[in-house]
Amino acid sequence: MESIFHEKQEGSLCAQHCLNNLLQGEYFSPVELSSIAHQLDEEERMRMAEGGITSEDYRTFLQQPSGNMDDSGFFSIQVISNALKVWGLELILFNSPEYQRLGIDPINERSFICNYKEHWFTVRKLGKQWFNLNSLLTGPELISDTYLALFLAQLQQEGYSIFVVKGDLPDCEADQLLQMIRVQQMHRPKLIGEELAHLKDQRMQKIDLDQSLEASHPYDGTGMLDEDEENLQRALALSRQEIDMEDEEADLRRAIRLSMQGSSRSSISEDIPQTSGTNSSASLSSEELRKRREAYFEKQQQPEQISHLHETPTTSEDTLETDTGDDMTEEDMLQAAMNMSLETISA
C-alpha cells in the first residue's frame, strides 16, 4: 500500500487530486489546471464573439463567471479532459452510446473517473487489483474484482457520473510492484472527516480521564507521574522501616540497661553491711543509700572500664562480683543481666 500514490483532500482541489492519483504522481498543480481553464474560457469567448461582440448573448457571457473553474479550486470536466489529452488519454461516459458501441466491460478496463456534486475521484487498477483512490479517504481502498461492478452500480444510483479512461497510462512503481504481489487490507480506510472526528473523540476521552484522575487524587497538585508517586511511597516505607529498626535497637539497649541497673540495685541492697539486731534501713539514711547507688551506677556506665565490686558483708558467703568485658555485645550484656537477676533471686 505504501507504494501507491494517494493525495488527500486539500480545500476544493479534488480535480487535481483525481488526476494525480490516476497518473500516480504530482503531474498537475492548481496553476497548471487554472491555465487550462483560462484557455478554455478564451476559446468559448472567441466562439461567442463570432455572433457579434455587440450582441446581447456575448455581453451576457462576459458578465458570467467562468464555468471551468472557480475561486475554491473546482475545475470542470472539460479541464480534466484537456489535461488528460496531454497524455493521450480520453474520457468516455459510462453507459453512453459510445460506451455501448465499444462494448466496454468494466473488469477489463484500467481506470475510471467519478464525479458527484463537484467532487472528483479516481478508481484505478494497479497490478491485478482495483483501488478506490478517493482523496476524501485516509488511504487507498482495496476493491475486489467481484465487488467492482456492484461498486460502480452503487455510485450510479447515488447520482455519480462515471467516465472510463481510455488509453495507456504512464508507468508507475505501484503498478509494477503489484504485478508481482497481491495485497490484503484488514481494515477499510475511513473518510477524513470520520478520522478527524475519531481523533477528536479520543482527545476528549483522554481529557475526561485526566480530569477523573485529578478528582480522585485531590491532594496531588504537583502533576507527579504515577511512577514518581510509587517511588515516593516506596522511599517513605523504607524510611519508616529504618526508624522502626532504630527505635527497636534503642528499646533493646534501654531494656538491657534497666535490667542491669535493677539487678545491681538488688545486689547493693543485699550487700549493705548489717549490724546485729538492727535493720540496714535503720543504720543508713535514705540520702546515704542514694549516694552509694549513684556512685555504683556511674562506675557501671563507663564503656571501657572493667568494674569489680567487692563489698564485705556481715556473712562471708554473700560476695557479689560483677565483670563486664570491653568487647561485650548487647546480647552478652543481656545475658549478663539475666544471670545477675537469677543470682539475685537465688540469693
Half-sphere CA count of 120, side-chain side, radius 13 A: 26
Cell of 264: 545491681
For 181, which DSSP code?
Answer: -
Catalytic residue among 21, 68, 115, 134: 134
CA-based nearest residue to 70, from 29, 102, 28, 41: 41
User: How far apart are the C-alpha atoms of 116 and 156, rounded to whole Å?
Assistant: 10
Active site residue 18: no
For 106, which DSSP code?
Answer: G
Catalytic residue among 21, 114, 119, 132: 119
The stretches of 272-329 forming alpha helices (DSSP H) are: 280-283, 286-300
The beta strands (E) that lie in the chain are given as 90-93, 111-116, 119-126, 129-132, 141-143, 161-166
Active site residue 14: yes
Radius of gyration of the chain measured on its C-alpha atoms: 52
For 107, which DSSP code?
Answer: G
SS3 12: coil
Catalytic residue among 14, 17, 18, 68: 14
Catalytic residues: 14, 119, 134
